Structure 1
Amino acid sequence: MSVKKCIYKDHKNEESDNLSSPCFQISSDVQLKEVPTNGEEYLLKVIQERKNISTVTKCDKDFSKFAKNQSCFVKELPHAEAPEQFKPTIEWQNIQVADFSDVRMYISRLLAKKSMWPNKLEKVEICENSIVGWKDFFAKKEPTLSCVLGLNHTLLDDGLEALSVIIEKTTPGDTIDHKIGQWIYAFLACTRQPLLSDTTSILRNLARKCAEIRSRINPEDENAKTAVGPLNIFICLVGRYFRQYDLAD
């Protein structure tokens, strides 16, 4: 049977363990030296140095003058509420997440085994990494798997951010362009996980833009439900698949 070892022992109560006194006793013959030559001299030096340090350390700086600047780091942008007629049901959202998960799983298998990649994988290059350059790219290319798989992590983030800027120009009452919607879905399907902080910010911004566009669609319009469909999908995927639950419907 192993013998229990105590680190600290209270001399007043031999049966209790606490931090009141050390269990290592140093002989009175041991002298304090600047450079210890044995274990007892080292322990004595440590004990003496510890006496010069306060038990509780407090910050003596006044940071209150910086408090007024802190809100810029935590300010949350507004998120437009959906009209009741446009709010998707949980069942519908679960179906979208399940379908999207299947697509992501297929892409993950492709990324893990290059022999399964499409024969003509496009080498994607953006001539000008700007909104103009991305608009030209989205107009000339099709959101095919062979094209999207040619995008690296940085380009995926840049492209998704560009798409958020493009849909911001949507005319009030209209929905996003069909091809732009296909590009958004393709980029979301290839977004790498775990998410980087920049990617999370881009996704949240995309969901907010979609919510804002949705809020400006007239519920009385005969095509309203069709128009909000892609917007609801993107808000759902960002909120529920990518776990930004505060933005979900």
Structure 2
Amino acid sequence: MSEKCLYKKAQDDDDLDTLSTVCFQINPGVQLREVPTNGEEYLLKVIKERQSYSTVTKCNKDYSKFAKNQSCFVKELPHAKAPDKLKPTIEWQNIQVADFSDVRMYISRLLAKKSLWPKNLDTVAIESNNINSWKSFFAEREPTLRCVLGLNQTLLDRGLEMLTEILNKVEKGETIDHKTGQWIYAFLACTRQPLVSDTVSILRNLARKCAELRSHIDPEDENANVAAAPLNIFICIVARYFRQYDLAD
């Protein structure tokens, strides 16, 4: 039985007029069959089918009427820079990331072994899209492990969105109140990884809002550093722990 050799065809550079080269040379006596019976017939069938398609495929439909207000690019909101006197040092940021990492590691162990969870977890009943329901939730409860461990990522994301909405009500020159800050920290500590795109967007919006609030604090005020501290913490966590480095100070 004669052997048939499949090989890459040698070609001179001058002969190449396409971006693709012939990888297999098929015996000219091979016939095209509807149902291939050997390797060469199968390759011939694939080649013939490929020739019926253009090298570059273009969309021949006009979808513009469905996307009049859309752009092919995502427009990033501005990120306010810190006043020099309120900008945290790298050493301070490293301490915050290390402390946050310890909290995350502890919570990760709990999530991995439910037998370690606190007994009698709080039952959370909340209208996820109702900001007043969230405001009542944040006001009436404490951000304890009993409360936050049972929340799934969907609720954690929605809660962070609502907390960012609450920050929109903070007056210029003011800062986050203590309890709101506790809730933000708790939700960040329980956020699951790897991050999905929606969660990344929520975290970035939170960091930008914190940066905006910080930019309105008078650096000459005697309490300026105290007011900026929680804002710096959340910017630092989002930027350096959750790897949104372009938002880092």
Band of TM-score, shorter chain: 0.7 to 0.9
Deviation of 1:43 after TM superposition, in Å, equals: 4.8
Post-superposition CA distance 1:171-220 (Å, at most 9, x none): 11111111100000000000011111111111111001101110111111
Deviations 1:130-182 (A, max 9, x none): 11001101110011111111211111111111100001111111111111000
Identity of aligned residues (%): 66
- Larger mean CA deviation between 56-65 and 174-183 belongs to 56-65
| Distance across 1 between alignment mates of 2:198 and 2:169 | 22
Count of matched residue pairs: 236
Whether 2:37 is the aligned partner of 1:38: answer yes
Q: Which residue of 1 aligns with 2:56?
A: 57
Matched, 1:221 2:221: yes
Partners of 1:93 and 1:11 lie apart in 2 by 60
Structure 1 residues 143-152 or 86-95, which shifts more?
143-152
TM-score (norm 2): 0.83
Deviation of 1:92 (Å):
0.6
State whether residues 31 and 41 of structure 1, in contact with CA within 8 Å, keep that contact through their aligned partners in structure 2.
yes
* Unmatched segments (≥5 aa) in structure 2: 13-19
Q: Which is further off, 182-191 or 193-202?
A: 193-202
Q: Please state how far the C-alpha of 1:91 moved relative to its aligned partner.
A: 0.8
| CA RMSD after TM alignment | 2.8
Superposed CA deviations along residues 1-31 of structure 1, whole A, max 9, x for unmatched, are xxxx86324399xxxxx9447333142xx55
Whether the aligned pair in 1 keeps the contact of 2:6 and 2:24 (CA below 8 Å) is no
Q: Could you tell me whether the CA contact under 8 Å between 2:88 and 2:232 is conserved in 1?
A: yes
Matched with 2:17 is none
Query: Once structures 1 and 2 are overlaid, which stretch shifts more, 18-27 or 218-227?
Result: 18-27
Question: Which secondary structure state, in structure 2, belongs to the residue aligned with residue 74 of structure 1?
Answer: coil
TM-score (norm 1): 0.83
Q: In structure 1, how many angstroms separate the alpha carbons of the residues matched to 2:63 and 2:155?
A: 41
**1:27-106 equivalent positions in 2, closer than 5 A:** 27=29, 31-33=31-33, 35-36=34-35, 38-39=37-38, 42-54=42-54, 56-59=55-58, 61=60, 71=71, 73-106=73-106
Q: Which moved more, 1:116-125 or 1:206-215?
A: 116-125
The residue that corresponds to 1:246 in the other structure is 246
From 24, 31, 34, the equivalent of 2:26 is: 24
Match of 2:205 in 1: 205
Which whole-Å deviations, capped at 9, do the CAs of 1:95-152 have from their partners, x for residues lacking one? 1000000000000001111111112321211156411001101110011111111211
Structure 1 position 121 matched with structure 2 position 121: yes
Structural mapping, 1:155-174, within 5 Å: 155-174=155-174
